[in-house]
A and B are shown apart, each in its own frame.
Chain A
Amino acid sequence: MNDGERTAAGPAGGAPPDTHRSLPHGPRADVARAAGHRDPPPRMGFFTDTSVCIGCKACEVACKEWNGVPEHGLELTGMSYDNTQGLGANSWRHVAFVEQRKPLGGQEPGVAHAGPDVFKAARALGTSPGAGTPAPETAPAGAPAGEIPPVAPGGRTELRWLMSSDVCKHCTQAACLDVCPTGALFRTEFGTVVLQEDVCNGCGYCVPACPYGVVGRREGDGRAWKCTLCYDRLGAGLEPACAKACPTDSIQFGPLEELRERAAARVAQLHAAGVRDARLYGESPEDGVGGDGAFFLLLDEPEVYGLPPDPVVTTRDLPAMWKQAALAAVSLAALGVAGFVRRPR
């Protein structure tokens, strides 16, 4: 793990331009190169398209199998089909299930098929412009088949069941990596963030630092654990276990640039099909964490899925924090001196 060593030790031993290389905020072109990797491969990541997630949890199982993640307890939560509850030390993929009284855009909600001919509409889907290949500018404003109403005749709406496989975001500006005091967390040549369990001393600082609440400390083990984006598989030219196992390609793995293009096309396609709720999350390099290495296509606001709507890497304010602490330390010293200054008699 020489690379990790180099990454972590960077601020100490680096030349002046390198001193703050893990600090600056804003988009960064090549995150692996910035971390000290010479000639890195393209940045790899996940694009999780939740619009085709079927909630099978194959990703959760594959992840546990491949990475030897222990079970996290069997508890029936009553939160739809979600008994995993969230990401943590023992769940590196988590499928969220959200039940809503809301139709999907363009979906046929009625039970009685008296109104529109669904089969005709379905046939039209394949041939209508914008359904097969994405072409946002030619997309109609409403549903592609036009006559399908979003609400059933009686004003009754249907159940919408959202599923989304959550994972570590592998942030461009990763708070966990910044605050790790041992250098156990490091940036790989693929631009991902990986935790070395043989270095981690279990201080738990990465746990509250993560703006997504991803990292957890494992009980009984004492160390922090999180998704490695299957660093071992990547090195061997394989895709991560979850992406491999995903039966609907909801989890797509690849070079981040390519995934972003694919995601933009998919959003346009969904908008064209009348799914106006579709939006990308964590895709923009302009956001508070400099863009996520694992980003999502969501069908509702991020917080509905348990994701923060506007996450910001906490170390963005760290220079200001150090300044305030220095000022306070000087004030304290002055206060101490003031105590000893002899009063004028």
Chain B
Amino acid sequence: MKRRRGSIAWWLVFLLGVLYFFLPLVATLDFSLKAKPPFAAYTSSLQDPKFLGSLLYSLVIAGVTITASLALIVPTAYWVQLRVPRARSLVEFVTLLPFVIPAVVLVFGLIRVYSRPPLPFTHTDIGSSALLVAGYIVLSLPYMYRAVDTGLRSIDIRSLTEAAQSMGAGWLTILWRVILPNLRVALLSGAFLTLAIVLGEFTIANFLARPAFGPYLNLLSQSKAYEPAAVSLISFGLTWLAMIAIAFLGRDTRTRIEIGGAH
């Protein structure tokens, strides 16, 4: 009897949580469908070249960020584990710095340092985009490093390395053909989390005046009524897809906590 009453209270807590999760989404959907004719908000958003342009831009930036971040982190984590374990705490400390330095502070410093000679990144489009990628690599450091490090721990990199070396492989070959394929799951989940962060990020892209997805939605909300609702839902759907992909990848291993950070 007592247990059952407890259970009802827990159901209520759960229902409250469900309401909190879904009411904003339902309201957004409801609002997006008020445009006449139905779905006009979606069709006009999808036909807006700026929508596709900004989404494409953010996807490209995400791709470059993920590639560069992996190129930086995989060799580093590998090397730390194999050769310089005493550097571990220092490297880990650096990868956790983004938790201490909020995005708005990071972009503040980046703009002040790289908007004047000798490194006037922000004076050109390509330079600003490069700076954006650098900022996103910094944001992704904690998640990427942890994903890669956990992945490396689960395989015997020492034996793999020695086996490859004895067959005459160089460092690049070892990393590319032996270590990377063994880290597939870890790398993909790190990559999808970075994708979700980059697609939703607003602060850094906005201050660097980049035509990314976040700033686009912000601008759209100042000029249109129903389209922002449609695009918000699309954005939520993309986050959802990235998270589902991570859950799907992690289904064999123990469920891992994935926490993003671009609020």
Partners in one complex: no
Give the interface of B toward A (CB within 8 A).
Answer: none
Give the interface of A toward B (CB within 8 A).
Answer: none
